[in-house]
Copies of this chain bind each other. A is one copy, B any other.
């Protein structure tokens, strides 16, 4: 019987005792595959889960984090989608293959890796082949690990739901992981991208990634700046990543019949906004919680075709998880990655 190392904790909140432990590696049977983890991408949500549990029914010892890239080491006899040696990435919501999301109005599913399901900070995992998809050939493992959550969220908002086309105006708020994917995906489709930040240095880095217009939130009312830059037209697409009453700003900025994708942490916050622009401009406002596997496959294909390289702010070693989690609070430019 083999074992694997994993980051785990026996509790969440103040009693959390995150440390490297060991777990048994199950045998590979049926449609299961064994995957050796090469990289894990962290999300701000991983901190929230560790700090509060987010109301989820966690299993202890709990292994955190939702997104990884790795290599298939062994496949069960009924596996059809993969073979040993294939490079794969995880899916955020393993039960959501395509179409309508799972769950009901009363209880929508939030059954993701690193929450309802165990996380990915394990050197080996044995899981159904349905929980994975092929990694892009053009990305290394660290880059590929950023696609399942941050990359897919931006893609699902702008492309799967938003059907972005060249020439449209996209407003991206901030320079975090989803925001920079939004910038890159929008540019890959020929859009005009406006990015907001409170940091001149981050805006300059965004410019190097292709942002067409930089809006410093410290230079007065950013919505007014945006109106001027667009001749009052507004944004065809807004990636609203801030949350809370900030939705009102997004409603000011959105074009007539534009689209606001609401993305963000969802612990205890309300959204609020004046109803006048919601009615008079009739935008679509849609919450986005990542997306389904088929769209992730579309994103992988697009990444390989366009040469899009995810922005990794810093790569940490497996043992440096605590430092990497700290980094999340300092507002990374793009993604924070653990390499195994």
Report yes or no: A279 in contact with B289, Cβ–Cβ below 8 A: yes
Complex Cα gap A276–B273 (Å): 16
Report yes or no: A104 in contact with B279, Cβ–Cβ below 8 A: no
Report yes or no: A264 in contact with B275, Cβ–Cβ below 8 A: yes
Report yes or no: A234 in contact with B105, Cβ–Cβ below 8 A: yes
Complex Cα gap A195–B239 (Å): 34
Q: A189-B166, A256-B108 are in contact. Are A287 and B283 (CB under 8 A)?
A: yes
Stoichiometry (number of copies): 4
Report yes or no: B108 in contact with A281, Cβ–Cβ below 8 A: yes
Q: Is A192 in the interface zone, CB < 8 Å from B?
A: yes
Complex Cα gap A232–B264 (Å): 26
Q: Is A314 in the interface zone, CB < 8 Å from B?
A: no
Report yes or no: A280 in contact with B165, Cβ–Cβ below 8 A: no
Report yes or no: B286 in contact with A282, Cβ–Cβ below 8 A: yes
Q: Look across to chain B and name the residue whose beta carbon is closest to the beta carbon of A136.
A: B167
Q: Which of B105, B255, B279, B304 makes the CB contact (< 8 A) with A235?
A: B105
Closest approach, in angstroms, between the C-beta of A270 and any C-beta of chain B?
Answer: 5
Which chain B positions have C-beta within 8 A of A102? 256
Q: Look across to chain B and name the residue whose beta carbon is closest to the beta carbon of A280.
A: B108
Complex Cα gap A227–B104 (Å): 9
Report yes or no: B167 in contact with A185, Cβ–Cβ below 8 A: no
Complex Cα gap A134–B46 (Å): 39
Q: How large is the interface on A (under 10, 10 to 19, 20 to 34, 35 or more residues)?
A: 35 or more
Report yes or no: B232 in contact with A306, Cβ–Cβ below 8 A: no
Contact with B along A303-334 (1 / 0, CB 8 A): 11110000000000000000000000000000
Q: Is A17 in the interface zone, CB < 8 Å from B?
A: no
Q: Is A81 in the interface zone, CB < 8 Å from B?
A: no
Report yes or no: A166 in contact with B302, Cβ–Cβ below 8 A: yes
Report yes or no: B255 in contact with A279, Cβ–Cβ below 8 A: no
Closest approach, in angstroms, between the C-beta of A100 and any C-beta of chain B?
Answer: 5
Interface positions of A from 80 to 132, Cβ below 8 Å from B? 97-110
Report yes or no: A278 in contact with B272, Cβ–Cβ below 8 A: no
Interface positions of A from 131 to 187, Cβ below 8 Å from B? 159, 163-168, 185
- A192, A227, A302 interface centre (most CB from chain B within 10 Å): A302
Report yes or no: A166 in contact with B306, Cβ–Cβ below 8 A: yes
Closest approach, in angstroms, between the C-beta of A275 and any C-beta of chain B?
Answer: 5
Closest approach, in angstroms, between the C-beta of A87 and any C-beta of chain B?
Answer: 17
Q: Which of B159, B164, B227, B264 makes the CB contact (< 8 A) with A106?
A: B227
- A272, A287, A298 interface centre (most CB from chain B within 10 Å): A287
Complex Cα gap A286–B254 (Å): 13
Report yes or no: B271 in contact with A272, Cβ–Cβ below 8 A: yes
Q: Which of B262, B263, B274, B298 makes the CB contact (< 8 A) with A270?
A: B274
Closest approach, in angstroms, between the C-beta of A189 and any C-beta of chain B?
Answer: 5
Q: Is A188 in the interface zone, CB < 8 Å from B?
A: yes
14 CB-based A-B contacts, threshold 8 Å: A97-B97, A100-B257, A100-B294, A104-B232, A104-B256, A105-B232, A108-B277, A166-B305, A167-B302, A167-B304, A190-B302, A266-B276, A270-B272, A284-B286
**A binding-site residues for B, Cβ under 8 Å:** 97-110, 159, 163-168, 185, 188-192, 212, 227, 230-235, 243-244, 252-258, 262-264, 266, 269-289, 294, 298-306
